[in-house]
């Protein structure tokens, strides 16, 4: 027997009407049986909101008429584009139209802001969510990897190179350079909004050259942006990673949404990174010039 459609019995309330603690709690409740739960406390969710330009006044919570929270969805907004994220519905209320109502409500929020291009990622093999997004005319544009490197990985000696450490201001200048069309999490704003951002630039003996920008948290390296300016991307990336992990040998590393066709990818595997899971990137509408131009306005 199919569950009854309860979408008409719920209210869609701006997420800004709830505390960050309440939003973290409902998010975690919706993910208890998720294939990759990714739990969050209030501090982590607040950092997520700030880093990824999530606008809580345009994000939505589904609730009963009595105020019981049933689900949540969040909307990130940047110039000419929107990002749909953190969609979750309580397990015992799924397949009743709540997810569809939340998603449709968020699309309407973006439309009211005259934003017609939307991005999102869905974990690979999350068929219900994937099918929902297809029904709203989202289409697949690529497959993304989430990679991790343990600090217990056998250390590698740094490749001989002319290496230069970069401070935050120098690093943020580099991430504004053209890096192609990036997933939301890896766009320049995400690093501009993050704390403890540093970088590394190096030149190899044969003239190959590139740079890597990253965020260093207390126990973690994350949020990588990189580019090979001259030479073979895998060779340059391996040299950059050898210097980075020599500098921070005791830190765990997790990076998100690396495109499967990224030419730098072989260097990550050679350096001991392993795949945690995959996401499918999906778009709706035509990418704006600020996202796809020769020089991104990120």
**Rounded distance between C-alpha atoms, residue 277 and residue 123, angstroms:** 8
Domains annotated for the chain, with CATH where assigned, are 7-116 (3.40.630.30), 147-292 (3.40.630)
Backbone angles phi, psi at 199, to 5 degrees: -155, 175
> For the chain, what percent of residues have pLDDT higher than 70?
95
Burial code (b: 16+ CB inside 10 Å, e: under 16) for 21-59 equals eebbbbbbbbbeeeeeeeebeeeebbebbebbbbbbebb
Higher pLDDT, 294 or 182: 182
Q: What is the pLDDT of residue 155?
A: 82
pLDDT tops 50 at residue 138? yes
Higher pLDDT, 67 or 259: 259
**Rounded distance between C-alpha atoms, residue 298 and residue 296, angstroms:** 5
Q: For residue range 32-76, list pLDDT tens digits in order.
A: 888 887 889 999 999 999 999 999 999 999 999 888 999 999 999
pLDDT tops 80 at residue 178? no
pLDDT band at 114 (very low <50, low <70, confident <90, very high): very high
Q: For residue range 1-13, list pLDDT tens digits in order.
A: 344 455 558 899 9
Best CA proximity match to 187, nearest among 36, 41, 290, 38: 290
Q: For residue range 221-241, list pLDDT tens digits in order.
A: 999 999 999 999 999 999 999
Who contacts 262 (Cβ-Cβ below 8 Å, separation ≥6)?
Answer: 233
Best CA proximity match to 197, nearest among 182, 176, 228: 176
Best CA proximity match to 55, nearest among 69, 37, 73: 73
pLDDT tops 50 at residue 18? yes
Q: What is the mean pLDDT of the chain?
A: 92
- Whether 122 and 280 have beta carbons less than 8 Å apart is answered as yes
Q: What is the pLDDT of residue 294?
A: 33
> For the chain, what percent of residues have pLDDT higher than 90?
83
């Amino acid at each position: 027997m199919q569950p009854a459609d309860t979408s008409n019995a719920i209210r869609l309330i701006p997420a800004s009407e709830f505390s960050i603690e309440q939003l973290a709690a409902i998010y975690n409740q919706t993910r208890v049986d998720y294939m990759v739960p990714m739990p969050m406390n209030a501090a982590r969710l607040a950092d997520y909101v700030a880093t990824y330009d999530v606008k809580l006044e345009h994000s939505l919570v589904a609730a009963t008429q009595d105020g019981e929270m049933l689900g949540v969805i969040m909307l990130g907004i940047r110039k000419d584009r929107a990002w749909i994220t953190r969609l979750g519905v309580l397990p015992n209320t799924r397949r009743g139209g709540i997810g569809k109502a939340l998603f449709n409500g968020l699309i309407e929020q973006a439309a009211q802001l005259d934003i017609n291009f939307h991005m999102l990622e869905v974990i690979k093999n999350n068929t219900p969510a994937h099918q929902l997004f297809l029904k709203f005319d989202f289409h697949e544009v690529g497959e993304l990897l989430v990679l991790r490197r343990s600090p217990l990985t056998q250390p590698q000696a740094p490749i001989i190179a002319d290496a230069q450490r970069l401070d935050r201001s120098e690093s943020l200048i580099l991430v504004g350079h053209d890096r192609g069309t990036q997933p939301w999490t890896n766009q320049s704003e995400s690093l501009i909004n993050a704390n403890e951002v540093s970088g590394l630039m190096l030149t190899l003996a044969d003239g190959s050259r590139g740079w890597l920008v990253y965020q260093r948290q207390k126990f973690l390296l994350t949020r990588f942006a990189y580019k090979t300016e001259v030479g073979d991307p895998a060779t340059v990336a391996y040299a950059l990673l050898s210097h980075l992990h020599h500098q921070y040998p005791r830190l765990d590393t997790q990076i998100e949404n690396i495109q499967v066709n990224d030419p730098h990818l072989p260097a990550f595997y050679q350096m001991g990174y392993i795949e945690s899971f995959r996401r499918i990137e999906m778009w709706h509408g035509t990418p704006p010039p600020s996202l796809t131009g020769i020089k991104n306005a990120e």
